[in-house]
């Protein structure tokens, strides 16, 4: 609980708790509004999908915005938009004109606001607490979501039963104002960030993830888990109403059981972290969740189902907390929001896409059979976790920005000049050649993560001890950003490891294509004809 002793973290945590309670109340109200209409299984699943699918389109641009501008103002704008969307849904429901189309459209709008704000919200967490407290802060943040999941649905079920869903939607609209108020009290000092265009910034984020094996492995675990796991969230309303014959209050209790289980899971997680590795936690928690899904498919007693959902909720939050913590500890600050946005596309987008798929399947074979099929896929997915576990050092590498030696070789080059070719010549003794090759190839991923579009290693035929590392960046500005903002302590260690196997002071050359040189092979052919006097 140490992060809660930090006033700013505590203030934002409480505001987010109010917002999360409102969001879960909104989810119950929207799904229960549709449980009695035709194609209820599909429509209730689509409500879940509509709130999550916007991440496919908006997360990456939102990540760029969060890496480029003041995250506080971005979060205030996103929450303001969601206030308007939730307020409109409350008004239409109160007027009695909110049908499936209106519910889905406005739920999608709320999902858009969440998708825009989520990368910024995740990216500010490491700025609120010291690095050593990030695992605790992640667990407390997960507990926030799940306390809301325990309280919000139960409260919403009771309110829907006595007054209808319009009041629930209105409370959700008001809850976003608490976040705006807390953010307004935060007098942060926005850091100056590069003014990279949207397209290049998205490309650099994708390039980073593509060349970060630890990040890719975390995303793989997220996808393998969340796609089948989404079936329970998507179909629980239909199972509660159509199979177990529960009213909205019963459905609220079932969702609350998942949330309470998640809170309990968050409480025992620090104790488990001291005894189990991340991979053991992921395997065990995924198995708990899968068994919970199977039990919900077979059990019909509300008390028994609530007990099962407690176990499933604990499994859910442990998986989320382990993956979220590993991701935040793995990412450097310069690309954190963009990479978290990509992770959100995998996790939240996978949950949204999975919800939609399971809704169609349930319409064809029924919700119980669908839930059992999804449970089987989840358990089968444990094999992938065993074959491709998280890397041992995930979350433990030095991601602080390293201070690089000053480079004045291109002071006169404009930031837009390029492409830039970097050549570094190393002199290596024969007995160190093999070790140097291995170190240089490990360095290749670092070069690509931090901006290089290509990389290669060459060996001189006349002097087998001479190696030339060569990599290309799109512009001189990208190269300067690489040196000044992107090289982490771990990247610097990789450079030192390679340099230690070679003679001191390697030769470094920076080459930029002359403005008059044609940039294509055809241009080279033209120049060759000119040299031979053949040009027209």
Tell me the residue range of the domain where 243 lies: 2-387
Give the residue from 387, 406, 429 where a domain finishes. Answer: 387
- Alpha carbons 336 and 317: distance in angstroms, whole number: 22
Same domain, 331 and 425: no
- Alpha carbons 452 and 488: distance in angstroms, whole number: 15
Same domain, 179 and 104: yes
Residue 306 inside a domain? The answer is: yes
Same domain, 286 and 328: yes
Same domain, 162 and 45: yes
Residue 399 inside a domain? The answer is: no
Same domain, 427 and 336: no
Same domain, 382 and 486: no
For residue 448, the model assigns a pLDDT of 93
CATH number at residue 21: 1.20.1250.20
The C-alpha angle 125, 219, 3, rounded to 5 degrees, equals 20
Would you say 278 and 324 are in contact if contact means Cβ atoms under 8 Å apart? Answer: no
Residue 413 inside a domain? The answer is: no
Sign of CA dihedral 86, 89, 90, 91: positive
Would you say 107 and 61 are in contact if contact means Cβ atoms under 8 Å apart? Answer: no
Sign of CA dihedral 203, 225, 23, 126: negative
Q: What is the pLDDT along the chain (536 residues), one digit of tens a residue?
A: 577 778 888 888 888 888 888 887 887 778 777 766 666 667 777 777 777 778 777 877 888 887 777 788 888 999 999 999 999 999 998 888 888 888 888 988 998 998 888 888 877 777 777 767 777 777 777 777 767 877 777 787 788 878 878 888 899 999 999 889 888 887 766 554 544 567 777 888 888 889 988 899 999 999 999 999 999 988 887 888 777 887 777 877 887 788 788 888 878 888 898 888 889 999 999 999 998 888 888 888 888 888 899 999 889 989 988 998 888 888 887 888 788 888 888 888 888 788 888 888 988 888 889 999 999 899 888 887 788 888 877 767 777 777 666 555 555 577 778 789 999 999 999 889 999 999 998 899 999 999 899 999 999 998 888 999 999 998 888 888 888 888 888 888 999 999 999 998 888 888 887 763 445 544 444 444 444 444 33
**Strand, helix or coil at 203?**
helix
Same domain, 48 and 166: yes
For residue 535, the model assigns a pLDDT of 37
Query: Which contiguous run of DSSP H or E holds residue 383?
Result: helix 367-387
- Alpha carbons 353 and 50: distance in angstroms, whole number: 9
Give the residue from 387, 412, 435 where a domain finishes. Answer: 387
Residue 451 inside a domain? The answer is: yes
Residue 488 inside a domain? The answer is: yes
Can you tell me which residue has the tokens 């189990």? 276
Same domain, 101 and 37: yes
Can you tell me which residue has the tokens 């596309």? 345
DSSP string, 304-339: HHHHHHHHHHHHHHHHHHHHHHHHHHHS-GGGHHHH
Residue 359 inside a domain? The answer is: yes
Same domain, 199 and 329: yes
For residue 501, the model assigns a pLDDT of 92
CB atoms within 10 A of CB 163: 10
Q: Name the domain count of the chain.
A: 2
Same domain, 284 and 362: yes
The C-alpha angle 414, 415, 420, rounded to 5 degrees, equals 95
Residue 536 inside a domain? The answer is: no
CA dist list (Å): 276 to 272, 284, 322: 6, 10, 11
Same domain, 459 and 526: yes
DSSP string, 462-476: S-TTEEEEEEEES-H
Residue 409 inside a domain? The answer is: no
- Give the tokens for residue 218: 């975390």
CATH number at residue 485: 3.30.70.100
For residue 356, the model assigns a pLDDT of 83
- Alpha carbons 384 and 222: distance in angstroms, whole number: 11
For residue 411, the model assigns a pLDDT of 57
Count of residues making up the chain: 536
Strands of 466-473's sheet, edge to edge?
Answer: 454-459, 466-473, 420-427, 507-512
Give the residue from 346, 365, 387 where a domain finishes. Answer: 387
Rounding to the nearest 10 degrees, give the CA dihedral for residues 150, 152, 154, 160.
-170
Same domain, 430 and 378: no
């Amino acid at each position: 609980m140490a992060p809660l002793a930090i006033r700013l973290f505590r203030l934002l945590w409480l505001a987010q708790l109010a917002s999360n309670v409102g969001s879960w109340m909104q989810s119950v109200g929207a799904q229960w509004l549709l449980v009695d209409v035709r194609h209820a299984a599909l429509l209730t699943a689509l409500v879940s999908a509509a709130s999550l699918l916007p991440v496919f389109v908006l997360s990456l641009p939102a990540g760029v915005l969060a890496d480029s501008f003041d995250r506080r103002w971005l979060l205030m704008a996103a929450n303001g938009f969601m206030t308007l969307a939730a307020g409109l849904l409350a008004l239409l429901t109160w007027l009695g004109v909110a049908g499936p189309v209106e519910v889905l459209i406005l739920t999608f709008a709320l999902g858009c606001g969440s998708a825009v704000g989520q990368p910024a919200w995740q990216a500010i967490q490491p700025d609120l607490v010291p690095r050593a407290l990030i695992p605790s802060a992640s667990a407390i943040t997960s507990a926030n979501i799940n306390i809301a999941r325990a309280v919000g649905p139960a409260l919403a079920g009771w309110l829907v039963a006595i007054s209808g869903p319009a009041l629930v939607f209105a409370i959700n609209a008001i809850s976003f104002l608490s976040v705006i108020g807390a953010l307004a009290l935060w007098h942060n000092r926005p850091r100056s960030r590069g003014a990279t265009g949207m397209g290049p910034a998205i490309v650099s984020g994708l390039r980073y993830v593509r060349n970060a094996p630890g990040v890719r492995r975390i995303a793989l675990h997220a996808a393998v888990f969340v796609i089948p796991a989404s079936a329970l969230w998507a179909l629980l309303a239909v199972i509660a109403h159509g199979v177990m014959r529960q009213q909205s209050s019963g459905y609220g209790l079932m969702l609350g059981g998942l949330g309470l289980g998640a809170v309990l899971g968050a409480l025992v997680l620090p104790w488990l972290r001291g005894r189990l590795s991340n991979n053991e936690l992921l395997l065990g928690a995924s198995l708990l969740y899968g068994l919970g899904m199977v039990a919900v498919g077979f059990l019909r007693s509300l008390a028994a189902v609530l007990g099962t959902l407690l176990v499933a909720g604990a499994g859910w939050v442990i998986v989320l907390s382990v993956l979220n913590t590993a991701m935040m500890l793995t990412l450097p600050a310069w690309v954190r929001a963009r990479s978290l946005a990509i992770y959100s596309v995998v996790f939240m987008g996978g949950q949204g896409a999975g919800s939609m798929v399971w809704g169609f399947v349930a319409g064809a074979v029924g919700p119980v059979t669908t839930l059992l099929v999804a449970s089987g896929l989840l358990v089968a997915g444990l094999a992938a976790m065993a074959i491709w576990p998280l890397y041992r050092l995930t979350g433990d590498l030095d991601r602080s920005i390293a201070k690089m030696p000053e480079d004045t070789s291109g002071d006169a080059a404009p930031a837009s000049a390029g492409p830039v070719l970097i050549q570094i010549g190393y002199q290596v003794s024969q007995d160190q050649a093999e070790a140097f090759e291995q170190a240089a190839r490990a360095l290749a991923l670092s070069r690509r993560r931090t901006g290089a579009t290509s990389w290669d290693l060459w060996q001189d035929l006349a002097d087998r001890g001479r190696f030339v590392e060569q990599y290309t960046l799109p512009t001189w500005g990208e190269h300067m950003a690489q040196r000044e903002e992107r090289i982490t302590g771990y990247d610097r260690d990789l450079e030192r490891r390679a340099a230690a196997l070679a003679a001191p002071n390697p030769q470094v050359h920076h080459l930029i294509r002359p403005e008059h040189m044609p940039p294509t092979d055809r241009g080279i052919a033209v120049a060759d004809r000119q040299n031979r006097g053949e040009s027209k």
